[in-house]
Every structure is written in C-alpha cells, then in structure tokens.
Amino acid sequence: MSTLDWLPSSILQLSTQRDLKSGEVLFRQGDAVSAIFEVEEGRIRLLRYTIDDHVAVLHTAASGESFAEAALFSDTYHCDAVASVVTRVRAYPKRELLETLLGDPKLAKKYMSVLAHEMQTLRTRLEQRNLRTARDRVLQHLLVSADAGSGIIPLSGTLMDLAGEIGLTHEALYRTLAALESERIIARTKDKIVLLRGKSL
Amino acid sequence: MSTLDWLPSSILQLSTQRDLKSGEVLFRQGDAVSAIFEVEEGRIRLLRYTIDDHVAVLHTAASGESFAEAALFSDTYHCDAVASVVTRVRAYPKRELLETLLGDPKLAKKYMSVLAHEMQTLRTRLEQRNLRTARDRVLQHLLVSADAGSGIIPLSGTLMDLAGEIGLTHEALYRTLAALESERIIARTKDKIVLLRGKSL
DNA sequence: CGGCGTTTTGAGAGAGCTCAACATCGGTGG
DNA sequence: CCACCGATGTTGAGCTCTCTCAAAACGCCG
C-alpha cells in the first residue's frame, strides 16, 4: 500500500498519524528534523522560498508516497511542507528509523533498493517528459507500463490522475486515447487499457 | 567530480574503465549483473524493448552520472545500456561494492544519503517540467539553483546542455535568457548568470 | 432524483518547435 | 600566423500542437 510498509513492526508501531487542514504547515525550512513522512490521504507540497521570497514548488507528494527522505540525513528540513488539501500523513521518527536501518544490513539493503528503484522510476518519468507530442508520451507510458505478456495496463486511479502524471491536460489525454483507440492501437475498458500487438506505431 | 568518488579506495581500486564506440552495447536486458557504472565521458542510453520490439528510452546518463544503481539489488539488468557517442565508463564490481556498503554502517548511511538526495533533485526537476512556459521554467531553475546570498548561478556546462536539462530547445532558452536580461531580471557573463534582486517576477 | 466529478468533444489562440541563416569562439594544421 | 572547421551562441519567421475556455454527456453516490 505504501513505500515504507516493509519496515519492521517495531518502527511501524512508533509511527504516528497527523491530520492537516488545507493550507496547514507540516514543517518549515530550518526546523529540526524529527521525522520523515508518508502521505496516507491528501496531498503535501514541498516549497522553498527563494531570493526575493519567491515560492518554488519542489515536489508534490500524493497518497501513498513518502517524502522528505533526504531529511533522514540532515539536521534541518530544507523546505516547507504544506498540505494543499485536507491531508493525513504518517510520521516515522527519524532517530529510531535511522538506527533500525543502519543496525540491520538486511534492512539497509532493502531501503537502498527502495530508493534506487524510486530513482529509476523518476528518471524514466523525466525522460518521458522529453517527448513533445501527447501521442508519443502516452504511447511511451503505455509501452513501459504494459504487462509484457498480455499488453494490459491496469488503471489504478482516474484518467485525470494519469494525465497529471505524464504531464498532459486531461483533454489532451482523452483525445489521444480516443485517437489510438480508433486506430486500433489500443483497446479500452473501464479499468484497463490493452495494447494491441502487430502495429507499427 | 562524480557521484561515487566518496567510496573507499579499496573499491575505487577495484573499479575498471571501459571504452565504448558509438552504438556499442555495455550490457543487455537479462544479463547477469556484474557491476554498476558511472559515465566518465560520453553518454549512455538505457533502453527497454517493449511489446512488438518498440524501443523506449528509460534514461540518458551524461558525463559524471552514475546509472544502473538499482542493478545492485537485482540479479539481472532490466534494460539495455548503449553508448550513443564515444564513451568511457567506470565499472564498480557489484559483489564487492555491495559487501563494502553493507559492511560499514557509515558507508551505508552515506550511500542512502546520496540516493535520497538524487531523488530529491529528480523530483524537483520533474516538478519543474510541469511549468509550461519557457520563462517560468528558466526562472524556476535559476531561483532554485541560485546561491542564496549572491544570487549567482555558475554555468557548469554549455547553455545547450542546460536547455536539455530543463526540457527546452536551445533556441527557446537563448531567447528567454535574452528577454530576462533586457528586463534587468538577470545579468549574464560567459560563465555565470546573476539573479538581480528587487524584481517582482 | 439530484449533484458532483469524470469523461468527452469543439474551437480558438498562444507558445515553443522546426528550419534557416549567421555570428562567435576555440582549436588545428598548413 | 592565418585559414579552416566544428560546436556554441543568437536571431528570424512560420507552423503545429497543446493549452485554455466552453459545453455537454455520463456515471456514481447519497
């Protein structure tokens, strides 16, 4: 369900929940790091105040995503974390988590693996953004996400969410999917997309 | 100089160089993982063959970047690695590297820290791509990259490289920088850009 | 049944991409 | 020392594509 649920129960039991209203601040740049977090429900934005008090959004963490991992290795947070909607987060205490991770090589390896895979995913998504046209981006996403055997891409959220993930407006995504369907390159059902084979894209 | 140069000399000494011609393959999907790599000079593309033998570029690693970190935790490579120009890579043997990292909690912590920071950077770059206009993207990059005190952004590579990093054509970047300069929002020299303060962007 | 979010299609406009020409700079070899 | 050459830097003009704004059908849930 989440990126940290493989942690030993000793740590899971030390984690706590916190509810935030829309606009409420979870931590501020410069605060001492007490915990790292995971979004259970809602959305957290990481903001940095730059020269002349301009605000830059560094990251938006959605449900199921952990964030502020780098804070595990820092004394203070380097950005603000603000809920942009009603949000529930789970907090994992820094000191205990770090001790647990470093005290057990198996866990250390697991965490490195999780981080490395997340990096891989991010790099792939970034590379995807280099594709200019909606068609290329959608196809790239479908090709990479498709089950190798069946060509099925299950739809976890809504198409609007998917549009955001791949950096398109929902209108552009709908239009592109409609075009691909009419060209018999994909088939669609309510909860999945199927890549049809034997097509020269 | 690189992302892995903090490793103990015992590992650095076990690393080897390999030169590749343009188009030469470093490893293939399914190969047993023997090492992870760092680009010393050139460019490596990570490719995956998807349904119907379509090629998807998962990542492009440039000089100074390490790649295939996730392979440390896998038995086989999950994509192909191909040099897209004449390239020199440094290979770090998997087994020894993993043993060293897991055998010393300090090193484990360091590596986790490196991975977490890389994630942070990637997330920020991804968020940056959500900005539509060239102006917003350039300003976001400058604001985040600027030294907090002086507002100076040193230019490490060429402007063409920078254009690629932030997802613009070099023409669009040149035009945007010229506009920002004529508006007295930035000042430029050969090797740096300075953000001028007191401007409402 | 009513309301809200998702899905869908339409039309227009803006912004970056593409192609093109040219300037600039550093290195190379005659 | 200078001509040449490739890569970087710069500017111009047209075109294509997505974004934006709008409207409407659809489906789910209370």
Three-class DSSP labels, chain B: CCCCCCCCHHHHHHCEEEEECCCCEEECCCCECCEEEEEEECEEEEEEECHHHCEEEEEEEECCCEECHHHHHCCECCCEEEECCCEEEEEEEHHHHHHHHHHCHHHHHHHHHHHHHHHHHHHHHHHHCCCCCHHHHHHHHHHHHCCCCCCEEECCCCHHHHHHHCCCCHHHHHHHHHHHHHCCCEEECCCEEEECCCCCC
Q: What is the pLDDT of residues B29-76, one digit of tens each?
A: 999 999 999 999 899 999 999 887 889 999 999 999 999 999 999 999
Under 8 Å CB-to-CB from B182, ≥6 apart: which residues?
Answer: none
Amino acid whose CA is nearest the C1' of D19:
A169
From A111's Cα to the closest Cα of chain B, the distance in A is 8
Q: Which two tokens stand for residue A148?
A: 């190798």
Q: Are residues B137 and B110 in the same domain?
A: no
Query: In this structure, what are the phi and psi dihedrals at residue B186, rounded to the nearest 5 degrees?
Result: -135, 165
Residues B56, B47: contact at Cβ < 8 Å? yes
Contact assignment for A58 to B123 by CB distance below 8 Å:
yes
Task: Output the pLDDT for position A113.
Answer: 97
Domain count along chain A? 2
Three-state DSSP state, A91: strand
Q: Are residues B37 and B93 in the same domain?
A: yes
Task: Output the pLDDT for position B160.
Answer: 95
Q: Which residue of A has its CA nearest to B106?
A: A102
Domain-ending residue, one of B105, B129, B153: B129
Which of B113, B114, B120 has the highest number of chain A CBs within 10 A, making it the mutation to test binding with A? B120
Domain-ending residue, one of B129, B155, B186: B129
| Residue A112 located in a structural domain | yes
| Four-CA torsion A53, A56, A57, A58, nearest 10 degrees | -110
Q: Are residues A33 and A125 in the same domain?
A: yes
CATH number at residue B146: 1.10.10.10
Q: What is the pLDDT of residues A10-37, one digit of tens each?
A: 999 999 999 999 899 999 999 999 999 9
Q: What's this model's pTM, rounded to 2 decimal places?
A: 0.94
What is the extent of the structural domain holding B143? 131-195
Output residues with Cβ under 7 Å from nucleic strand D: A 132-135, 167-169, 171-172, 176, 190; B 132, 158-160, 170-171, 174-175, 177-178
- The rounded distance, in Å, linking the Cα atoms of A32 and B130 is 30
Task: Output the pLDDT for position A1.
Answer: 54
Domain-ending residue, one of B113, B129, B145: B129
| Residue A177 located in a structural domain | yes
Q: What is the pLDDT of residues A132-151, one digit of tens each?
A: 999 999 999 999 999 988 89
- The rounded distance, in Å, linking the Cα atoms of A77 and B182 is 36
Contacts 24+ apart (CB under 8 A), A124-130: A124/B58, A124/B59, A125/A165, A125/A166, A125/B126, A126/B59, A126/B122, A126/B125, A126/B126, A126/B129, A127/B57, A127/B58, A127/B59, A127/B60, A128/A166, A128/A167, A129/A167, A129/B126, A129/B129, A129/B167, A130/B167
| Residue A68 located in a structural domain | yes
Q: Which range is least confidently modeled, A9-23, A66-80, A185-199, B102-116?
A: A185-199
Task: Output the pLDDT for position B92.
Answer: 97
Q: Which range is least confidently modeled, A100-104, B34-38, B78-82, B148-152?
A: B148-152
| Residue B184 located in a structural domain | yes
Amino acid whose CA is nearest the C1' of C14:
B133
Nearest to A91 by CA among A28, A11, A37: A37
- The rounded distance, in Å, linking the Cα atoms of A31 and A48 is 13
Give whole-number Cα distances, A150 to A153, A194, B68, in Å. 9, 8, 27
Q: How far is the CA of A201 from the C1' of C19 (A)?
A: 26
Res B1 pLDDT > 80: no
Q: Are residues B139 and B111 in the same domain?
A: no
Q: Is the CB of A159 under 7 A from strand C?
A: yes
- The rounded distance, in Å, linking the Cα atoms of A70 and A78 is 9
Q: How many CB atoms lie within 10 A of CB B190?
A: 5
Which bases of chain D come closer than 7 Å to a protein CB?
A: 7-13, 17-22, 28
- Name the one residue in this structure whose structure tokens are 């001790």: A99
Give whole-number Cα distances, A13 to A6, A17, A121, A177, A197, in Å. 13, 11, 29, 44, 48
Q: What is the pLDDT of residues A31-87, one digit of tens each?
A: 999 999 999 989 999 999 988 788 999 999 998 899 999 999 999 999 999 998 899
Q: Is the CB of A174 under 7 A from strand C?
A: yes
Q: Is the CB of B171 under 7 A from strand C?
A: yes
CATH number at residue A80: 2.60.120.10
